[in-house]
Structures are given as C-alpha cells and as structure tokens.
Amino acid sequence: MPDYSLLAKTIQSLTESEDDPIALMATVACEVHHSDDRFDWTGFYRVTGPEMLKIGPYQGGHGCLQIPFSRGVCGAAARTGEVQLVADVDAFPGHIACASSTRSELVLPVKAATGDLIAVFDIDSDQSDAFTQGDADALAVILGNVFART
C-alpha cells in the first residue's frame, strides 16, 4: 500500500497553484500510478455530455475512449455517485473489458467545488482483489482536496 500521507503531500505540493482540471488530472494520474505496483492502469474519465464519460489523462495501456453512465464500473460510479470497489471484474454485471489484463478495479467519483460530477478516477489492477477500503478512503481525500478548487 502506498504511503498515502506522503502521496497526498506530494500531490498537494505539485498542484497547489493550479486550477485547470486537465492539468490536475494529469498530475494526479501520474503520481498515483507510480505510487504502487498494484496500479496497472490509472486515469480519469471526464463527464463530457449527458450520461457520457470520455477518456482523460491516464497512465498505462489504452483505455476505452467513451463509457456511457449505463455501462461498466466507471459508468456505475458516475451514475450512482458512489465509490465502486470491485474485487473481481468478471463478476461485475456489465463490466467493460477495456484491457483483458484487468482483474479488479477501484473507481471514485470526482466532484468540482460546486458539487457537480466532473469525472471518475479509475484504477485497474492485474491482480484479483487488489484494492481495500483504505485505498478508497485515502484516494477520496486526495481527490477532494485537489478538485475542491476547480
């Protein structure tokens, strides 16, 4: 597990004077991706229209270009506004296989200061049951601190 306290401080230091959401997403994706070997794909899907997510800044192999709110783990996080902690993606109804290597997934809603959903933050792992509630909680705090100023 990453040292989330150090990760939060590093991300805060890198982003403290930035308010552009894309620049923030790129920085967060990079820092989180390189903080733990469990993280095989790390990135954002941005809300770009009604009920539609499109790929944003990410680290790792290719991602899906578009994901409707009605499909997959990312769609579920966008649709419900709730963190999706999926130990086995094959057991998740409607899972979208953007990468055949993905075994587990953690997706967190990302909200602007206004409370509007602007994206979801998606982390895939090639390991089954790779993520914990501790991961979800720590990343939610980091995302909240970074995107509260957008």
Note the pLDDT of residue 99.
79
Reported as a single tens digit per residue, the pLDDT across 73-94 is 999 999 999 999 999 998 998 8
Note the pLDDT of residue 98.
81
Note the pLDDT of residue 93.
86
Note the pLDDT of residue 112.
94
- The residue type found at 143 is L
- Which residues in the chain land under pLDDT 50? none
What is the pTM assigned to this prediction?
0.95
Burial category of 111 from C-beta neighbours within 10 Å (exposed 0-12, middle 13-18, buried 19 and up): middle
Note the pLDDT of residue 94.
81
